A = this chain, B = another copy of it.
Amino acid sequence: MTSAGPTRAERRRNTEQRILAAARELFAERGFERTTIRAVASAAQVDPALVMQYFGSKQQLFSQAVRISVAGTGTGTGTGTGTGTEAGTDTGDRPRTGGPEALTDSLLASLGMKIGGLPEASLAMLRSMLTHPEAAEAARAALDHQITELAAAMSAGHEAERQAHDARLHAALAVATMVGVTIGHQLLGIDDLRRASPEEIAAALRPALHALVTGAE
């Protein structure tokens, strides 16, 4: 009977996480504009006013849910999308070592995760980046970061044979390709992509990514 109920701090953290989870889910499936604080509160079984009291504003709720610093000038957590616990978009985990094949594989591995189940925070980000300015800014930063990492790993192979300019362009195209495939698969639900297994997609995409990473001319 006398089961010790959760402490006050526990309850607080609990509902805070419940709100964040609901926000992530709704932001991911409807985007920033179509997601109302009332809907988030309702999904978290909480009063809308509480969401405001905890997160300050809808924008800050979004930032917290997607784990971006937002702030002002834009340095903040730097990496962009996913430094938090479960936020993703960590495309190309550590493509430091290995040849082009390893690079391609690491890209494809991250794609497999994306297609398997991209964290909702990243989906929320992708979903809103075309219509919500702050999300666009964060997405640009995150993608730029990925491009930089990938380009560095690419030009690490061929000493100075390849111009850094070229490496960044090819890296940008590779990243854009991943974005396009992810959008088509996860957000638009293109049939031919939905039907295919992550392995099939990875296999079909490998030569193309390899060509981009290698930089054949």
- Oligomeric state, in number of copies? 2
Indicate if the CB atoms of A131 and B181 lie closer than 8 Å: no
Cβ-defined partner of A127 (8 Å) among B131, B187, B189, B211: B131
Q: Whole-angstrom distance between the alpha carbons of A30 and B131 in the complex?
A: 6
Indicate if the CB atoms of A131 and B208 lie closer than 8 Å: no
A172 at the binding interface (Cβ < 8 Å): yes
A113 at the binding interface (Cβ < 8 Å): no
Q: Whole-angstrom distance between the alpha carbons of A166 and B204 in the complex?
A: 9
Q: Which residues of B contact A189 (CB under 8 A)?
A: 140
Main DSSP-derived SS at the A contact region? helix
Given contacts A31-B130, A190-B140, A211-B208, whether A196 and B176 have CB atoms under 8 Å apart is no
Indicate if the CB atoms of B188 and A169 lie closer than 8 Å: no
Give residues 91-144 of A contacting B (CB, 8 Å): 126-131, 136, 139-140, 143-144
A154 at the binding interface (Cβ < 8 Å): no
A207 at the binding interface (Cβ < 8 Å): yes
17 pairs, CB–CB < 8 Å, chain A vs chain B: A31-B33, A31-B130, A32-B131, A127-B131, A128-B130, A130-B187, A131-B131, A147-B190, A166-B204, A169-B200, A172-B192, A173-B181, A176-B181, A176-B190, A179-B183, A180-B183, A207-B216
Q: A179-B180, A207-B216 are in contact. List 13 more A-B contacts (CB 8 A).
A: A31-B130, A131-B131, A147-B190, A169-B204, A172-B184, A173-B193, A173-B208, A179-B184, A180-B181, A205-B212, A208-B208, A208-B211, A210-B211
Report A's interface with B, CB cutoff 8 A.
30-34, 126-131, 136, 139-140, 143-144, 147, 166, 168-173, 175-181, 183-185, 187-193, 195-196, 200-201, 203-205, 207-212, 215-217
